Chains A and B, each alone.
Chain A
Amino acid sequence: MESLLQQIFTGLVSGSFFALLALGLSVIFGMLGVVNFAHGAFYMLGAFGAVMALDALGLSFWLALVVVPLVLGGLGMLLERTLVRRLTRLDPLYNFLLTFGLALILQDLVRLKYGVSSQPYQRPSQLQGSFDLGLFNYPRYQVFVLVFSVLVSVAVWVVLSRTRVGMIVRASTERPELTGALGINVGRWVTPVFGFGVALAALAGVLAAPMRAVNSGMGGDLIIVIFAVVVIGGLGSVFGSVAAGYLIGMLTAVGNYYVPALSQSLVFLLMALVLLLRPAGLFGREEGVS
C-alpha cells in the first residue's frame, strides 16, 4: 500500500510535466487550430535556456524560471507573426509540417552548438535533500515541481474562467466566427495565446533541467506522449489536459512498477480506448452535435 501511494506520488510528479506541456499544446490548438509539433522543441529550449542563463549570465534557477519562459514566449510570438499566421487559413497539415520542420531546425541548431551529450545542471541549493511526507521521504525538488505545476495550472484556469481576457480567449477558441461577429477582435488574441503556450512549454523545460538529461533530443521523445495526453483529456479542454496529464503520469508510474515492459504502451492503449469510446476525450465536449 505504502509503495503504491509512493508510486502514485511519483506519477503525479512526472504528470506535472505532462500537464504543463499538454496545457500549452491544448490552448494553442484551441485558439489557432494548429497542431504544434514544435512544442517539444520549446520544452528542450526551456531547459537549455536555464543552462545558458546560468553559464553565460549567472542567472540562478529562480530567475531562469521567470526569464526563460518570457524570452521564449516572445520568440513564440515572433514565430506566430512571421510564419504560423501565414498558414492558418490553409489545411491544418500545412502548419503541422511547418512546426515539424521548426522542431527539427531548433533541435539541430542546439546540437550544432552543444553536441549530443547532455549538459550538466545542478539543483538549486534550497531544494536539495528531501521532505518527510509522513509515509515516506520524497526529494524536495520533486515535491516543489508538483506544487509549482499545480499552482500554475490553477492560475491558468482562474484566468481563463474568471477574467474578461479569459472569457474572450475561451469564446474565440470555441466559436471564433460568432465571437468576431460580436465585435471582438479575435485576431488580436492569437499571437499572445501562441506565445503563452510556448512559454508554458519553456517553463516545463526549466523545471526539467535539474532532474532530467538536458540534451537536444529531450523534447522529441516526450512530445508524442503529450499528444496522447491531449487526446485523452479532450481537445481544447484546459481542465481535461491538466487532469489527463496527472492521470497519465500516475498510470505510467504504476505501470512501471508492476509491469515495466508494458508501461510505454499503456498510454497509447488508453488513447485508443478513449478514441473508440469517447472520441471527444475524457473531459472534452462533443463538437458540432447540432
Chain B
Amino acid sequence: MGRMRTFGAVASTLALGTLAACGGGGPTSGGGKISDDKIVLGVITDLSGVYSELAGENAVEAVKMAVDDFKKAHADDAVTENIEVVSADHQNKPEIANTKAREMYDREGVDAIFDVPTSSAALAVANVADQNQKLFFDIGAGTTELTGAQCNPYTYHYAYDTYMLAQGTGTTITDKGGENWYIIYPDYAFGQDMNKSFVNAVEGAGGTVVKSDATPFPNDNFSTFMTKAPGLDPKPDVLGTMQAGGDLVNVVKQYNEFGLREKGIDLAVGLMFDTDIASIGVEPLAGTLFTTAWFWNLDDRAREWADRFQERTGERPTFDHAANYSAAMQYLEAIQRAGTDDAAGVNEELNGLEFDDFFARNATIREGDHNVIHDTYLVEVKNKDEMEEESDFTKLVETVPAQEAYMPVEDSGCEMG
C-alpha cells in the first residue's frame, strides 16, 4: 500500500499543478534635456521559451541595429552620442515582466521599453509604464486591450493585434467565398480573444461560424476536431485555427493526415510567424492563408533591410524583429526632433504622426488610442517549387489598407487619462 500511496501522491500533486496552472535613478548630470545625458532602450522579451525564436535575442539585435543606424544617420547632429540597449528575459510571465519593467525604469535609467510578447505580460508592463510615466512600445503581444480599456498615454501598440489578424484573414476569406467556418482555439486569453475577433469578422462579412470549439492547452491530439469538422452541418469551407507554436504544428500535421483539404475544407491560421512555417515545413502548409504585419520578401525596401539583418544575425527576420527596429527608429527620430527624451515631449512628436518606412506602410500613430496602424497583408504559404531561397515562405494575396485593417478608434473603448 505504501508504494501505491507514494505514486498516488505524486500523481495527485502533479494533477493539481496542471489544473491550477490553467488558471531610483542612475547617475544624474545636468545634461540638458536628455535625462542622465543618455538614452537607454530596454527590450523585455522571451529569451528562453516558446517565443524566443520569433522574438527573443534577435529582437534585441534589431533594436541595437536601429541604434547603430540612427547614430550613423545623425553622426554630426545627434541629440546625444550615448545610446544604450539593455535587455531582460521575462519568461512570458506577467509578474516577472512587471518586476523587470520596474527595474529598468527605476534603476537602469531606461527611457522606453520594447517588444514584450505574451498579452498578460504586455498589459503588466503597460501598467508600470503608466505609473512611471515612461514610454512602452508593445510589439510582441497581440491583445486589443492595450489600445482599448487598458490604454494609457505612455503605451503604444506597434505591430499587430487580434482584431487586425481577424480582419485580414476572416473578412477576406469570407469575401472570397469561404463562408462557413469551423474555428478551434486554445482555451486561454489570447485564444478566446482571437475567437471573438474572428467570429465578429466572419459574421461581419456575411459568413457563418458553424461552430467554434475551445481546445485544451497545450494539446498534442486534435484528431477529435479533425474528424468532427466534415460532419458539421452545414459543412464548413474553412477550418480556422487560432493555435500557436507546438499546438499549431500538431493541428497542421493532423489536418493533413485527415485529408481535410481534399474534403473541401481549407485551412486558415490566426497567427503565424516564419519560424512556425520553418518548423512545420512548407509542403504541409502550402496554400494556407494568414494575415501578417509584414514579411521580409514583401518588396525591395523590405528585402534591403532583411539582407542587412541577415548579415548581422545570420537569419531572416520575423515581423516582430522588423517591428522592433522600426519602433526603436521612430522613437529615436522623435527624440531627435523633440530635442528631449522626456516622455511628454516625445509623445508630442509621436501623437498623430504619419510616416512610412520599410516595415510600416501608410502608417499613422493614432492619437486617440496609440494604436500604430499600417497596411497589413493577407499572404499564402508558397509551394516548394515557388520558393527562391530557404526562408522564402510567403507570397502576397492582398494588401489590407491601414484604415480598414484596424479597429476604428471610436470602437476601441480607449480613454486616455
Contact size range, A: 35 or more
A7-B224 contact in complex given A227-B11, A231-B11, C-beta closer than 8 Å: yes
Bitwise, A225-265 to B at CB < 8 A (1) or not (0) is 00110110001000000000000000011001100110111
**Once the chains bind, are B19 and A268 in contact (CB under 8 Å)?**
yes
Chain A 69-111 interface 0/1 with B at a Cβ cutoff of 8 Å (1 = within): 0000000000000000000000010001000000000000000
A117 touches which of B15, B224, B225, B279 (Cβ 8 Å)? B279
B10 neighbours in A (Cβ, 8 Å): 35, 96, 227
Stretch at the interface among A155-163, A187-195, A214-222: A214-222
Q: Which B residues are within 8 Å of any A CB, using their own CB?
A: 1-8, 10-12, 14-15, 17-19, 22, 49-50, 52-53, 187, 213-216, 218, 220-221, 223-225, 227-228, 231, 245-247, 249-250, 253-254, 257-259, 275-276, 278-281, 283
* B216 pairs with A263, CB closer than 8 A: yes
> Contact: A142 with B257, CB < 8 Å?
yes
A139 to B279, CA, bound (A): 22
In the complex, the 9 A-B pairs of residues with the closest C-beta atoms, listed nearest first: A213-B249, A120-B281, A117-B279, A256-B224, A227-B11, A213-B246, A264-B216, A118-B279, A268-B15
> Do A275 and B221 touch across chains, with their CB atoms under 8 A apart?
no
Q: Which of A33, A210, A215 contacts B246 (CB 8 A)?
A: A215
List A121-143 residues whose CB lies under 8 Å from chain B.
Answer: 122-123, 129-130, 136-137, 139, 141-142
How far does the alpha carbon of A213 sit from the alpha carbon of B2 in the complex, in Å?
Answer: 38
- A175: interface (CB < 8 Å): no
Determine the distance from Cα of A213 to Cα of B196 in the docked complex, in whole angstroms: 26
B residues in contact with A224, CB < 8 Å:
14-15, 17-18
Residues of chain A within 8 A of B215, CB atoms compared: 256, 260
Q: Is the CB of B11 within 8 A of A288?
A: no
Q: CA A21 – CA B14 in complex, angstroms?
A: 17
Give the chain B neighbours of A119 by CB distance below 8 A.
279
When the two chains form the complex, which single residue of B231, B258, B276 contacts A3, counting CB atoms closer than 8 Å?
A: B231
Determine the chain B residues whose CB is within 8 A of the CB of A265 once the complex forms.
19
**B52 touches which one: A116, A118, A136, A287 (CB < 8 A)?**
A116
**Please, which residues of chain A bring their CB within 8 A of the CB of B49?**
116
B-side contacts of A177, CB under 8 Å? none
CA distance A280 to B5 in the complex (A): 9
Closest chain B residue, CB of each to CB of A35? B10
Residues of A within 8 A of B4 (CB): 235, 279-281, 284, 287
Q: Is the CB of A287 within 8 A of B224?
A: no
Instruction: Kindly list chain B residues whose C-beta atoms are within 8 Å of the C-beta of A227.
Output: 7, 10-11, 14-15
Cβ contacts under 8 Å, A256 to chain B: 215-216, 224-225
Known A14-B221, A29-B7, A271-B15; further 18 A-B contacts with Cβ < 8 A:
A3-B228, A7-B227, A115-B53, A117-B279, A137-B259, A142-B223, A212-B221, A212-B253, A213-B253, A224-B17, A227-B7, A228-B15, A230-B11, A257-B224, A263-B216, A264-B216, A265-B19, A272-B15
